A and B are shown apart, each in its own frame.
Chain A
Amino acid sequence: KQEVTQIPAALSVPEGENLVLNCSFTDSAIYNLQWFRQDPGKGLTSLLLIQSSQREQTSGRLNASLDKSSGRSTLYIAASQPGDSATYLCAVSRYSSASKIIFGSGTRLSIRP
């Protein structure tokens, strides 16, 4: 059974630092991995999607990497800003099938001004 873990559950860093959020999964047979951002009381916003054949994706200050063999993905945030404060969730899908999407419980990120 696929399990997705995000450690730490919470992280606080000063503004301007580069930081890495971690996501690990137990079954390497994935179709894709997606990183989301969730602001308090809001829905999820897709940040990056990595297909199983890809190693990384970049969008602005964000870079997500995928290492299927080790069951790990990282989300790198460069030059963090207070506006980056949110909960970040990763989700993996086993196939294109919608029934096999498993979410981690998220990392709550706080950027101190």
Chain B
Amino acid sequence: NAGVTQTPKFRILKIGQSMTLQCTQDMNHNYMYWYRQDPGMGLKLIYYSVGAGITDKGEVPNGYNVSRSTTEDFPLRLELAAPSQTSVYFCASSGISGGRSSYEQYFGPGTRLTVT
């Protein structure tokens, strides 16, 4: 049981380039989330999904897109990278697993993205 995995761990993009951040969970969670964390700040929700085929915007969705074709995968797409998107990106999932409380969030290790 790997939990939530993210790739890549690090990436440097030039302004205007595109990329996809991958996220996979093996806990059969229905909820998945993408957050960004800027230095010294808390996390801000970018997009979330309540199940395969269903996604919705969070607090800071501009410049990003997501899809959820399966329960396990929730990729985040940056179409035209901008310096303001330099941040650490975390994927998380929640649901009922192992008998623990529902909606407890489990996080991946993060992707550190720099746009120059």
Interface residues of A (CB under 8 A from B): 4, 9, 31-32, 34, 36, 41-46, 49, 51, 89, 91, 93, 96, 98-99, 101, 103-106
Contact = CB atoms under 8 A, between A and B. Distances in A.
B48 A99 contact: yes
Contacts of A34: 104-105
Interface in B17-53: 31, 33, 35, 40-45, 48-50
A98 B105 CA distance: 10
A2 B36 CA distance: 18
A59 B92 CA distance: 22
A74 B41 CA distance: 19
B102 A98 contact: no
A99 B40 CA distance: 22
B103 A43 contact: no
B108 A99 contact: no
Interface string B75-116: 000000000000000101010000001111111111000000
Contacts of A93: 103
Contacts, number: 65
Contacts of B94: 98
B107 to A, nearest CB: 4
B42 A43 contact: no
Interface residues of B, number: 29
The CB with the most chain A CB atoms within 10 A, among B102, B103, B107, is that of: B103
Given A43-B110, A98-B94, A103 B33 contact: no
A45 B107 contact: yes
Interface in B52-74: 56-58
Contacts of B4: 43
B42 A104 contact: yes
B109 A51 contact: no
Contacts of A51: 101
A43 B108 CA distance: 6
B56 A99 contact: yes
7 contacts: A32-B103, A34-B104, A44-B43, A46-B107, A51-B101, A98-B33, A105-B40
